[in-house]
Structure 1
Amino acid sequence: MDKNQQGIELLQEGKWEEALKLFTEQIEEKPHDPAAYINFGHVLAEMNDAERALRFYEKAVEVDPSSSAAHYALGSFCFGRERFEEAAQFFEKAIRCGMEEADAYFMLGLSFLYLDQTVMALPYLMRAVELDEEDAEARFQFALALAKTEQYEEAEKNLQKVTTQEPSHADAFYNLGVLYAGHYEQPEKAAGYFDRALEIQPDHMLAGYGKKLLEKAE
């Protein structure tokens, strides 16, 4: 097991100082390997030293501009600080550098959603679902994007799949209620979905509000 792998295990165990020591040794031995800089950044981020963590992520990109993992690390760093435009740029670079993983596409799509660029988000969320069909959260966000772009039938299909994958996904049931109340104009079915959301999460304010609106309309 190399020092990077050993350091990752120590990081997962919360042994930060020991992890940093191994990553420092790895950097000294292989100064052109971006992995140790990325992992060093992860430890600093865990220690809430964001400024230094960013420097190490940037150093990883500097030593290897083609490192998809380095660009992804920078994207995650920016996303966590709500710098969504920068995050999108880094996730895009990670994909261009060869990262063909569901998470990269999901995070890029999510960045565009937070930037209110739903049309831009759609193909990346779709790809995330294609790469990992069991990821209920990616499918849920994809369904929301479909609904926002008025692709209601596809949105419903994906929301139904989410409720099958995660029967306790209150937000999926709530959004099905919204679809049936608005697009399909089937208030009884909508009320059933709002009820299901409230059974799962009694303090689901939006579902409660949706149900009250339906009752007023009767």
Structure 2
Amino acid sequence: MDKNQQAIERMKEQKYEEAAELFNAIIEENPQDPVGYINFGNLLLHMNDTERAERFFQRALELDEQAATAHYGLGNLYYDQSDYPVAQKHFQQAIDIGLDEADAYFLLGMTFVHQENYKLALPYLMRASELSPDDLEYLFQYGLTLAQSEYISDAKSVFQQVLNSNEEHSDAHYNLGVIALYEEDPAAALEHFQRALDIQPEHVLAANAKKQITDAMNTTDK
């Protein structure tokens, strides 16, 4: 196992000081190799040392402006700071350079979601779910963004896919309940809201929606 692999293993074990020593040695041995700076930047992100992490990622880009994972690291850094326009720029650059990974597409899509540009987010969230079809978070967020973009029937299909993989997904049930209300099917909506509450009793949105339906039904019956 080389030093880089050893350092990554130390990171996984949360032995950050040992990982830092190894990454530092790698940089000293190969000061013109951007990989060492990128890995050290990722370690610093794990340690919440964002100021130094940014410097390491930028140094990697000075050595190789085509270092996609350095842009990805900066994207993560700015995303965590809620600076979504700058994060968006770096995720886009990482993908344009050739980083064809689900996380990059997902996070790029989410930068648009946080800026309420839902339709712009859709192709990236769709691509993330294609690249990682077993990741229900990617699929769910794609469905949610379809709904926010008013593609209701497509969103319904995606939420049902989520439930096909995990029938205990309370938020998928909640959103299917909202869609059922939109389709003027209060009985189906009530069923989904109740199912969400059975799974997650503290689901406030489902509880409020259920109460509104039952109150309306009680008023109608009087």
Bin of the TM-score, shorter chain as denominator length: over 0.9
The answer on whether the counterparts of 1:32 and 1:64 sit within 8 Å (CA) in structure 2 is no
Shift of 1:104: 0.8
TM-score where L is the length of structure 2:
0.94
Q: What is the alpha-carbon distance in structure 2 between the residues aligned to residue 46 and residue 12 of structure 1?
A: 10
Q: Name the Cα RMSD after superposition.
A: 1.2
Any runs of at least 4 consecutive aligned residues in structure 1 with deviations exceeding 3 A, and if so which?
Answer: none
- How far apart, in 1, do the equivalents of 2:127 and 2:41 lie? 28
Match of 2:72 in 1: 72
TM-score (norm 1): 0.95
Aligned equivalent of 2:145: 145
Matched ranges for 1:14-163 at <5 A? 14-163=14-163
Give, in whole Å, the separation in 2 of the partners of 1:67 and 1:168. Answer: 41
Match of 2:175 in 1: 175
Of 194-203 and 29-38, the range deviating more from structure 2: 29-38
Q: CA deviation at 1:43?
A: 2.2
- Residue 166 of structure 1 is matched in structure 2 by 166
Post-superposition Cα deviations, 1:21-78, rounded to whole Å, max 9, x if no partner, equal 1111111222222221122122222333221122112212221110111111110111
Please state how far the C-alpha of 1:204 moved relative to its aligned partner: 0.5
Name the % identity. Answer: 47
Q: Structure 1 regions of 5+ residues with no counterpart?
A: none
User: Which amino acid counterpart does residue 204 of structure 1 have in structure 2?
Assistant: H
Residue number in structure 2 paired with 1:10: 10
Q: Is residue 190 of structure 1 aligned with residue 189 of structure 2?
A: yes
CA distance in 2, matches of 1:190, 1:32: 60
Instruction: Specify every segment of 5 or more residues in structure 2 that has no aligned partner in the other structure, as ranges.
Output: 218-222
What is the deviation of 1:81?
1.1
Give how far 1:2 is off.
2.4
Aligned residue type for 1:170: S
